Structure 1
């Protein structure tokens, strides 16, 4: 059966790549997706010698090394999983190569991981913010030490103030493995971003037979993140706010740690498209 979603997994081949791919595989199991793993490396970090022959030799060696590492990473999962899984890699300007690859394969969802101190970072390149600006589809940022569950069910929380009508289809697919109760969050102070009651009600209606509970917090990421942690929520979902994109991008940046030294949110974060 053809996969419903095409999922692109960005990896930097660091120690977190295994966890990133595991999150992507579990998401694919829940919603029905195929996976492509993609790695890109800057040429300036490979070719350090002006001698052309030496530079070509370094490039060939790095190509072979990257291919082996990607093949080994994919092999770990492909033997156990029935989900279509391929890989590719490129050398060049990191952001340009990622943008070209997105245009080439047209993924529905992009999955990326976290490094120790920053959200997914290719040798200093802030790929997360770049994707938020350039990619209009869904982005899943893998959890830090907390993998997205697929077999035993998902405990899902939605940040209601950022959701809209375009979120309904993926929400239906996520609900297949969701466990009760489904949690919706709002902030007490009137925020710059609102989902219509109709949109939120449509989202809630996708969880037929499951309880839905609502919570309100002060307009602070700390309160929401603490609740996510204490209640063992396995996946936090939020939108980008449409016309209020700048506000939601700033808020997303705060809770995933792109504006701070360490990431605050440990659970996987699914950012809806726009």
Structure 2
């Protein structure tokens, strides 16, 4: 019998906020009936410190065992707590190449990533997130390190610059129906723009912001005031030029403290 469940891929560095990120993936999996797979990859230079082939092989084997145990320790409590079987894999190599190959091999329906801290962003940038958004056409979930979602969290969803039909992709309507509070619709417009009436799945509370240098900071304040914990963000495509472009999405990732569900750059409509 064919497996018709969706597939969620979590890309993790196994650092501080890994459990929070996986909880977000588990929460999403419960909403859309999906399997969860965790993938962790390291650069060879982070593992092998010697030119000796024997020493290098020993280091690689040790790292495989260490990472396998670390992954097991991380996901075992979540498997038990939420009655879900989270699969996992580990690789050593060029991080971006390994991720790209794994995505091609597993064909996930959505990828889940964590947010870097503001300090880390200033130092090195969020290169993996940029890479995934550039190379992967499907939806990307950016899990907030604080105020994230888990299976016990009551969803309070916001829509950014998008009409409801633009969010009616594949499983996204299932997510929208899980909120028990009115949707919040946030629209950013130019000073001369006319605000079009936003058609939503249910009655929404609408907010309009004039586009300027402080808009994203103001939006972040309103998201916090309205207790929004999941913001749907449309990526620009050929059919929806009013959606958010790459620089706007990057600014959101860097500056708002809620989880983001960034839609696919190629829309796959629900049936």
TM-score in terms of structure 1 length = 0.84
Give the deviation of 1:118 after TM superposition.
3.8
Give the deviation of 1:195 after TM superposition.
11
Aligned to 1:90: 91
Q: How does 1:1-274 map to 2 (within 5 A)?
A: 4-116=5-117, 117-118=119-120, 126-161=127-162, 165=166, 167-189=168-190, 201=199, 204-205=200-201, 207=202, 211-219=203-211, 220-243=215-238, 248-257=245-254, 264-274=255-265
TM-score in terms of structure 2 length = 0.85
Give the deviation of 1:150 after TM superposition.
3.4
What is the number of residues matched between the two proteins?
Answer: 257
Give the deviation of 1:10 after TM superposition.
0.8
Change in 2 beyond 3 A, CA 1:63/1:170 = same
Distance 1:169 1:267 in 2: 23
Change in 2 beyond 3 A, CA 1:176/1:113 = same
Distance 2:146 2:183 in 1: 23
Give the deviation of 1:160 after TM superposition.
2.3
Distance 1:30 1:132 in 2: 23
SS of residue in 1 equivalent to 2:8: strand
Give the deviation of 1:188 after TM superposition.
3.0
| 1:165-188 per-position Cα deviation (integer Å, ceiling 9, x unaligned) | 464443311123212211111123
Flag structure 1 segments of 5+ consecutive residues without an equivalent.
258-263
| 1:125-172 per-position Cα deviation (integer Å, ceiling 9, x unaligned) | 710000110001111111121121433531000002487646444331
Distance 2:234 2:243 in 1: 12
Q: Between 36-45 and 174-183, report the one with greater CA deviation.
A: 174-183
SS of residue in 2 equivalent to 1:232: coil
Change in 2 beyond 3 A, CA 1:113/1:89 = same
Change in 2 beyond 3 A, CA 1:104/1:158 = same
